[in-house]
Amino acid sequence: MSLSHSREIRLAVLDDAPAILDIFQHCDLFASTGHRQDNIGLIDVMDWLESVTDNHPMLVLEEQGNVIAWCSVEPFYGLPAFDCACEVSFYVSPNWQGKGIGTQLFKYLETNQIELGFTHLVAYIYASNLESQGFFKRQGFDQWGLLPNIAQNEQIKEDVFILGREFF
């Protein structure tokens, strides 16, 4: 049996919170600042999961029953004029990066774009994250903006690119 047959994309559930947190902590430059009170924790992930809706889901991709990646589709801005725009985030376990996992999740969103109700996707990407920038550009995203030094903690200041794609 090919490995792709053992993969499943599904809606995330509360039981997925530990795996989602683990992947996030391994992938996000600012996930752990060194100050315990600033860290994203299990309760935060559970809150994310409880805030999902049909149009703003959190999805996981499983390989043989193990969560190896996740993505979220969140409201872009709180005004009705922006209801068809969503912020999108992808996180792939380090051992699975570069193997088409993110693309598989993105194709799922693209295929279900009408049901999810978005016409635009926006992603915020750290300037140092060249792999993520390349991933989004391969999915047809363009740079729509730059937020200089907006992400920071005691050790790091980081520019963030705004990448976007319009779906017709």
Count the domains in the chain. Answer: 1
CATH code for the domain in which residue 56 is found: 3.40.630.30
pLDDT in tens, 88-135: 999 999 999 999 999 999 999 999 999 999 999 999 999 999 999 999
Give the Å distances, CA to CA, from 133 to 15, 21, 31, 123, 160. 30, 22, 19, 10, 11
pLDDT in tens, 34-55: 444 457 788 988 988 999 998 9
Domain that holds residue 113: 3-166
Q: Which helix (H) or strand (E) holds 98?
A: none
